[in-house]
A and B are shown apart, each in its own frame.
Chain A
Amino acid sequence: MATNILMPALSPTMEEGKLSRWLVKEGDAVKAGDVLAEIETDKATMEVEAVDEGWIGKILVPAGTDGVKVNAPLALLLAEGEQLGVVAPSAAKQNIESAMNAQDKPAKAAALKVEVRKSGTVTATPPKPAAGGGTRIFASPLARRIAAQKGVDLATLVGSGPRGRIVKSDVEQSKSVVRALSTKDGAAGSAILGVAMLPDAKLFYPAGSYDETPHDSMRKAIAKRLTSAKTLIPHYYLTVDCNLDALLAARERMNTAAPLVNGGEGRKDKIPAYKLSVNDFIVKASAMALMKHRDVNASWTDTAILHHKEANVGVAVALDFGLITPIVFQAQTKGLVEISAEIKSLATRAREKKLKPSEYEGGGFSVSNLGMLGIKNFTAIINPPQSCILAVGAGEACPIVVNGKIEVATLMTVTMSVDHRVVDGSTGAKFLATFKQFIEEPASMLL
């Protein structure tokens, strides 16, 4: 019995991915657990394994195909002794059609359109985008007018009306960012349109004066997520200076006391079992402060605020090809050594694109540290569905006034970006005060 190998959903939010590589070819015998292909999502590369044995009858989606919808058939797996042409020609053809379809640009086109005939039989026909062949677009007059007023390109829409006609609601739902902006003060707002409809940068530079790097899926995800986060979340910012002297001294003592262990594979020397960084303390202090201020450890939904029970702290990790924020789960229960080791492991695997979606999705709070690059202070964009992100600057020797005298202390400036829908100013400020206390007197985290 021929079975389809389907595009897996690697995470709850995944809609599509890139089939980057086939590790098998047509005619290969496979058994359960064999790696068949590699899928690249916005965040990670994952392997597709065979769940059954048989042989690859037909590869339906070629390697390098971008935007393959979840559940689209990738290949046809045949049982031993089965032949492609004999067994399921129609099924194969239909699968090829739907897979092709899955590559169609308008996102909604992936679902097969099913027509129920009077006889009760069901036939499948591939849906056509409203802009069939790029010539005539079927849209209601009202949809056309609203699209023109809002600067929405009808060719980018798939209609939900009769026979795929674009209707008012399709246009209204198409650019929720534009709509959210333009209804903010009740004005139709052509000035705001300017924000949403940025000009094509290519128009400004002569061809040949630049190299072009097409977006990979991570770049697209960063652009999409951060644009909506920064536009739709009402950010505000709280800044505080923390005196690092006590923390640095404690860190020094702890690192010196680290036992020596074997250097691991290929190394004969002994190395310290751990080397704590300032950032490890910041993650720990954040987790402890989140447990004291649960109002900050929260997420917005349309109907309620979700208060998280654990302190799951994301740590922004820069990659050559973008960035990702893996999460230290239940950081409040973990010691500094454990946090340190976990962040190292997450960062290493992130750079190798080996993180599982469950390791970077969700979380209640994020820390982004650019201190090691000499940045004194910056503001970060909130990482939805979280409500706060802490932007950490470099610790620098600064003059401070103690009892009327100028002294030198190591100060670190942190700025927290806060979603005002969830956390009001004083709540955010109280959280930061606790955070500052933990950083300035690390031992108080033991209280």
Chain B
Amino acid sequence: MSESYDVSVVGGGPGGYVCAIRCAQLGLKTAVVERERMGGICLNWGCIPTKALLRSSEIWHLVHRLDEFGISADNFKFDIAKIVARSRAVSKQLSDGVSFLMKKHKITVIAGEAKLAGNGKLTVSKDGQTSSVTAKNIVLATGARARTFPGLEPDGKLVWTYREAMVPDRFPQSLLVVGSGAIGIEFASFYQTLGAKVTVVELLDRVLPAEDEEISAFAAKAFTKQGMKLKTGTEVTELKRGADSVTCTLKDKSGKTEQVTVERVILATGIVGNVEDIGLEQAGIQVAGTHVVAGEYGETGVNGVWAIGDLVGGPWLAHKAMHEGVIVAEKIAGVPGVHPLDTNNVPGCTYCWPQIASVGLTEAKAKATGRKIKVGRFPFLGNGKAIALGEADGLIKTVFDATTGELLGAHLVGAEVTELIQGYVVAKTGELTDSELSRTIFPHPTLSEIMHEAVLAAEGAALHI
């Protein structure tokens, strides 16, 4: 006898559990099937535990600057086991919090692995037992995992993915990070700040290749100054695993090879959707590469089956998945006026040191659209609060359509910019133009004044430079 629901969500990550909550709010009888812990990768093995780790490394960085702030202390030590334990505790607290939210909204959580069985049915397997769930609507939110390449497979001991990198048993003195996207750079920054010798290898010609070129150059300079080695236009051709070290063969664009021996390697070369073993093919759901092909409202083409989050492709961000979860829930419930997600309004944040945040088009991409643009830039050095904080290294850049004043993109690097970016996202979503942003009063003294100045600068009207 199978339970019957209005909506059954497969996957309890940020896309899935948010979708479930919204469904429940809209009066739908909802279930979530999760094979591990509620909260998915984000809460348990991604966004949240890494932020806890990076907080430790930030404090470690600050205690080394105590003198600058007139405080004396010495004999600092860190205990990697305690840092990891705190990170795990943070994850557990939040995962438990999600479980509580499920209870609060009377959402049934079913443990196990779900597979589409046709006609609104799911079979759920757990420890060799199978049961079945019936739902008028099924939302697939199975997420993604690290991409691996032949010859460069992780082994969990010497060659890590994000999972092992998050829970090191001891602190590695040297590291090679493959891939300089958000995940790679955050781990590189964490380990570098705590004192490891870190080398980052990037196949493309710059680190953080998705960011605006100027921002990625700014960040590269800061990382290099911290002692990080950046090898761009370079690929890893071989990982020779020793007893407690890995010898990596790197090849640059000219074909020149070199060998680097490190204690551990972290692979961060992108992610692939979890499309396997959920019955997509039998259901007739189209898969392109490693992602489910879905419409702008998450439709899969199969009646009553929807897909959201990392499973349907990028940007691979929890907040994008959450937003899609809400869209699908509202579509299922028939809420009027649901709009598809506009990827131009999805911010991206990287919590390295210095932090990086962006939304919309880079300067190069904006130019490539053929429109006339204007660009504003303002350095942290011109901001009172940044200097008072001792965080004068940073830059905010705005890209506007010169004709309409539309904010096409904003690119930030520096202290706390991941908390600042939302101001520009609100402006973009609400379709504010350069004129409203210029006339907005930003509080003094705050870092947010840099955002204001970067808008004024696009008109050549920045005040403090």
Contact = CB atoms under 8 A, between A and B. Distances in A.
Contacts of A142: 404-406, 431-433
A399 interface: no
A119 interface: yes
Contact of A115 (B27, B28, B336, B436): B336
Interface in B299-346: 333-337, 339
A116 B334 contact: yes
Contact of B431 (A113, A114, A115, A143): A143
A207 interface: no
A186 interface: yes
B27 A119 contact: yes
A190 to B, nearest CB: 11
A116 B335 contact: yes
B336 A120 contact: no
B332 to A, nearest CB: 10
Chain A interface mostly helix, strand, loop or mixed?
A: mixed
A145 B26 contact: no
Interface in A109-149: 113-120, 122, 140-143, 145-146, 149
Contacts of B25: 118
A168 B406 CA distance: 10
Given A114-B336, A162-B337, A141 B433 contact: yes
Contacts of A122: 334
A188 B404 CA distance: 10
Contact of B336 (A113, A117, A118, A141): A113
B435 interface: yes
Contacts of B433: 141-142, 145
Q: What interface size band does chain A fall in?
A: 20 to 34
A94 interface: no
A331 interface: no
Contacts of B289: none
B405 A118 contact: no
In the complex, which of the residues A113, A141, A149 has the most CB atoms of chain B within 10 Å of its own CB atom?
A141
Contact of B403 (A118, A140, A141, A188): A188
B255 interface: no
A145 B339 CA distance: 22
Q: What interface size band does chain B fall in?
A: 20 to 34
Contacts of A162: 337
B430 A116 contact: no
B70 interface: no
B370 interface: yes
B405 A145 contact: yes
Contacts of A119: 27
A188 B401 CA distance: 12
A160 interface: yes
A343 interface: no
Contacts of B431: 140-143, 167-168
B27 A145 contact: no
A162 B435 CA distance: 22
Nearest to B432: A141
B26 A120 contact: yes
A141 B432 CA distance: 5
Given A140-B431, A141-B431, A186-B370, A120 B27 contact: yes
B337 A118 contact: no
A143 B433 CA distance: 9
Contacts of A146: 404
A422 B218 CA distance: 51
A174 to B, nearest CB: 15
A114 B334 contact: yes
A162 B431 CA distance: 12
Nearest to A114: B336
A118 B404 contact: no
Interface in B148-205: none
A420 to B, nearest CB: 24
A116 B329 CA distance: 12
A224 B339 CA distance: 29
Given A149-B403, A188-B403, A120 B28 contact: yes
A117 to B, nearest CB: 8
A111 to B, nearest CB: 9
Contacts of B406: 142, 168
A143 B334 CA distance: 27
Nearest to A164: B337
Contacts of A115: 335-336
A122 B333 CA distance: 10
Given A120-B28, A146-B404, A141 B333 contact: no
Contacts of A143: 431
Contact of B435 (A120, A141, A188): A141
Interface string A388-410: 00000000000000000000000
Interface string A163-188: 00001100000000000000000101
A160 B333 CA distance: 19
Given A149-B403, A160-B337, A186-B370, A118 B430 contact: no
A160 B435 CA distance: 23
B454 to A, nearest CB: 18
Contacts of A113: 336-337
A147 to B, nearest CB: 10
In the complex, which of the residues B336, B432, B436 has the most CB atoms of chain A within 10 Å of its own CB atom?
B336
Nearest to A120: B27
Contact of A118 (B26, B339, B370): B26
Given A141-B435, A142-B433, A168-B406, A116 B337 contact: no
A145 B430 contact: no
Contacts of B403: 149, 188
Nearest to B25: A118
A384 B333 CA distance: 39
Interface in B67-94: none
A145 B337 contact: no
Contacts of A188: 403
Nearest to A122: B334
Contacts of B26: 116, 118, 120
A149 B433 CA distance: 14
Contacts of A186: 370
A379 to B, nearest CB: 34
Contacts of A116: 26-27, 333-335
A306 B416 CA distance: 57
B289 to A, nearest CB: 23
Interface in B45-87: none
A92 to B, nearest CB: 24
In the complex, which of the residues A116, A118, A188 has the most CB atoms of chain B within 10 Å of its own CB atom?
A116
Contacts of B335: 115-116
Nearest to A127: B336
A140 B436 CA distance: 11
A162 B339 CA distance: 9
Contacts of B370: 186
A325 B404 CA distance: 43
Interface string B427-458: 00011110110000000000000000000000
Nearest to B372: A188
A160 B342 CA distance: 14
Given A120-B333, A141-B433, A145-B404, 20 more contacts: A113-B336, A114-B334, A114-B336, A115-B336, A116-B27, A117-B27, A120-B26, A120-B27, A120-B28, A140-B430, A141-B432, A141-B435, A142-B404, A142-B405, A145-B405, A160-B337, A167-B431, A168-B431, A186-B370, A188-B403
Interface of B: 25-28, 333-337, 339, 370, 403-406, 430-433, 435-436
25 contacts: A113-B336, A113-B337, A114-B334, A115-B336, A116-B26, A116-B335, A117-B27, A118-B25, A119-B27, A120-B333, A140-B431, A140-B432, A141-B431, A141-B435, A141-B436, A142-B405, A142-B431, A146-B404, A160-B337, A160-B339, A167-B431, A168-B406, A168-B431, A186-B370, A188-B403
In order of increasing CB-CB distance, the 6 nearest A-B pairs are: A120-B27, A140-B431, A142-B431, A141-B433, A116-B335, A116-B333
